[in-house]
Amino acid sequence: MTSSKFDVAIVGGGPGGYVGAIRAAQLGLSVAVIEKEQPGGVCLNWGCIPTKALLKNAELVLTMRHAADYGILCDNLRFDMSKAVERSRKAADTLASGVAFLLKKNKVELISGHGRLSSRSTVEVTDGGGSKRVIEASAIIIATGSRSKAIPVVPVDGTRIITSSEAMLLREPPGSMTIIGGGAIGVEFAYYYAAYGTKVTIVEMLPHILPLEDAEISETLERAFKKLGMVIKTGARLEKAEAGTAGTTVTVTANGQTEAIYGDITLLAIGRDPNTQDMGLETVGVKTERGFITVDREKGYQTSVPGIYAIGDVIGAPLLAHVASAEGIHVAERLAGHHPAPIDYGNIPGCVYCQPQVASVGMTEEEARKHGEIKVFKMPYRASGKAVALGETEGMVKLIADARYGEILGAHIIGAEATEMIAEICTARTLETTATELHKTVHAHPTLSELIMEASAGIDGAAIHI
């Protein structure tokens, strides 16, 4: 059994692990990343990147279905979902190769295999052939991410009842699909399959799909999805799901009535579980709660064991790639002797990439009202010259501000390019910019970002185009 020594050993090569590794190497530390699959983690290989490639195809499919609105007349229009899948896999593979290159460029050693803690300072790595190697490090960072949540009443078989991984690889659209879970993952796949003509039913236990978003935004998305022909069942308790030779049956109870929903395929999309199994956590004394590793953020994400840290999905919500990357950089800088500012978890953007897109940061209107007097202004997309020119008039920018000082408490956008536009609000909140200062900042015309300027002006009673 061979042995190697590093300053930092990172178990997991996803957006937390590889970003943290590169930052640590930039700061002069010797670093090893242990990854049993392709670098980039679930996000790059089976999540963020390939799903966005698929959603781009869905957007184009729906655009072509309405091409006549733009004076483009197509005869015998056909769509090949298999090509969309191939393009998404190519995007993932290209970026995974890019991550491997960046690690090598920064002199980070990428070690292939399953990493298991064998002591407070060592990780035993077992490769695909069964060979073992011991990695010794002054600091160990656990960044193993998460996987699709499983529940007993929904027996996933990978064919009829599937997870998001299988949903990304279907070569043909099923005639019908039942999606259990109306969160970001479920909503994005609902849009993707509906674009290709699948009859989609979304089952969500809470009162709205995207239950973590502002209620008004969720309601707007529900209306848009219903226009696409989707059936949305909210406030529905899942009883069970069963797979047969010809399809699936999902049994739910809503308003005291039990109903069976039939479909060709059922997608289980109810959240994520941490990848903390078979890692030796119990052996070395790393504490967990409901499977997630507990950390002390004030001590740089240190676990209950000094010298062992954890970042990303394995430490719990928010389970977002950009949060994992920020945490990875923070830990790397702490280990290099720097004093990075703490991450502001109140200013983390959330994005959903269906159409219309949804993006938000800060408090919802309901949350903000509990904290004092507020002002709320909603700027509809239909009031934007750019949105009208694009033919993208569905949606709004909703801004929430403190009534006395104009502090921006929250922003919620539904509409075209919402996921790009939200960054302006995040920057403004970081700089403690007021709504007045934001609307006094001249925005280019015509742009969708003018909607943010006008919404800010609306807080001060000075909106022009409404």
Q: What is the pLDDT along the chain (466 residues), one digit of tens a residue?
A: 677 999 999 999 999 999 999 999 999 999 999 999 989 988 888 888 999 999 999 999 999 999 999 999 988 899 999 999 999 999 999 999 999 999 999 999 999 999 999 999 999 999 988 899 999 999 999 999 999 999 999 999 999 999 999 999 999 999 999 999 999 999 999 999 999 999 999 999 999 999 999 999 999 999 999 999 999 999 999 999 999 988 999 999 998 999 999 999 999 999 999 999 999 999 999 999 999 999 999 999 999 999 999 999 999 999 999 999 999 999 999 999 999 999 999 999 999 999 999 999 999 999 999 989 999 999 999 999 999 999 999 999 999 999 999 999 999 999 999 999 999 999 999 999 999 999 999 999 999 999 999 999 999 999 888 7
| CATH superfamily ID and name for 2-147+273-345 | FAD/NAD(P)-binding domain (3.50.50.60)
Q: Tell how strand 357-362 and strand 408-415 pair up.
A: antiparallel
Domains 2-147+273-345 and 161-270 equal at CATH topology level: yes
Instruction: Name the residue ranges covered by the structural domains of the chain.
Output: 2-147+273-345, 161-270, 356-459
CATH for 356-459 is 3.30.390.30
Within a 13 Å sphere around the CA of 451, how many CA atoms are in the beta-carbon half?
A: 33
The answer to whether residues 465 and 451 touch, using CB atoms and an 8 Å cutoff, is: no
CATH fold group of domain 161-270: FAD/NAD(P)-binding domain (3.50.50)
Q: Is the CB of residue 351 less than 8 Å from the CB of residue 359?
A: yes
Q: Tell me which residue has tokens 């056909």.
A: 78
Q: Copy the structure tokens of residue 176.
A: 């019908």
Point out the residues that are catalytic.
445
Question: Which uninterrupted H or E stretch holds 91?
Answer: helix 81-105
